[in-house]
Chains A and B, each alone.
Chain A
Amino acid sequence: AQSVTQLDSQVPVFEEAPVELRCNYSSSVSVYLFWYVQYPNQGLQLLLKYLSGSTLVESINGFEAEFNKSQTSFHLRKPSVHISDTAEYFCAVSGSGGSNYKLTFGKGTLLTVNP
């Protein structure tokens, strides 16, 4: 079984400031890791994923996350945020073997970008 901890339930920042949203996971097996974003009144959109290979993964809109196996972390970062990045961000983990049907989500971090 897996679990995910998102340490910050809310992160307020000013526009153009850097941001880090923290995610730690627990698993007894190898994992896949995901960040999903949910804008108000919308469904979840995949922001980025770690499956294997390079531990640094990037999205098309400037976010990046680094898989750190020793610290069991997958923190999300952006060097300069925009008002439009205001949303709920969910970190999720899945086992990488067998019939891995379940995504285990963290409780979410609400990122609020202020002008």
Chain B
Amino acid sequence: DTEVTQTPKHLVMGMTNKKSLKCEQHMGHRAMYWYKQKAKKPPELMFVYSYEKLSINESVPSRFSPECPNSSLLNLHLHALQPEDSALYLCASRPGLAGSNEQFFGPGTRLTVL
């Protein structure tokens, strides 16, 4: 299996809702990433997990809360989001934090905050 999967594909939520995004890979990769991508822009790094531990937080607001329950799964918990948080959220993985930095991306979750 050489895929990164993400669910849901689309999500619409209100500013008071709590929701979660899910990312899964079965390639044995030990580093996983969350990115945010606004329309017509490159992806912006949010979080990096290495061996299920949070390695990097790129000064992301606390209304975004990542979680890595095991080596195959990465969640992003959302709470009290703002309309400007509407974007495509991409998950990526790579074998580890050493080496070529080739990252494998999922298809993304299109988030709309009303």
Please list the residues of chain A having a beta carbon within 8 angstroms of any beta carbon in chain B. 32, 34, 36, 41-46, 49, 51, 88, 90, 94, 98-103, 105-108, 110
Question: Which residue of the partner chain, among B4, B45, B104, B110, contacts A102 with CB atoms under 8 Å?
Answer: B45
Please list the residues of chain B having a beta carbon within 8 angstroms of any beta carbon in chain A. 4, 6, 31, 40-43, 45, 48, 50, 55-56, 90, 92, 97-98, 100-108, 110
Contact status A43-B106, CB under 8 Å: yes
Contact status A100-B101, CB under 8 Å: yes
Q: A32-B100, A46-B102, A99-B98 are in contact. Are A108 and B31 (CB under 8 A)?
A: no
Across the interface, which residues of B come within 8 angstroms of A41, CB to CB? 110
In the complex, which residue of chain B has the Cβ closest to the Cβ of A99?
Answer: B97
Contact status A103-B103, CB under 8 Å: yes
Across the interface, which residues of B come within 8 angstroms of A42, CB to CB? 107-108
A15: min CB distance to chain B, Å: 24
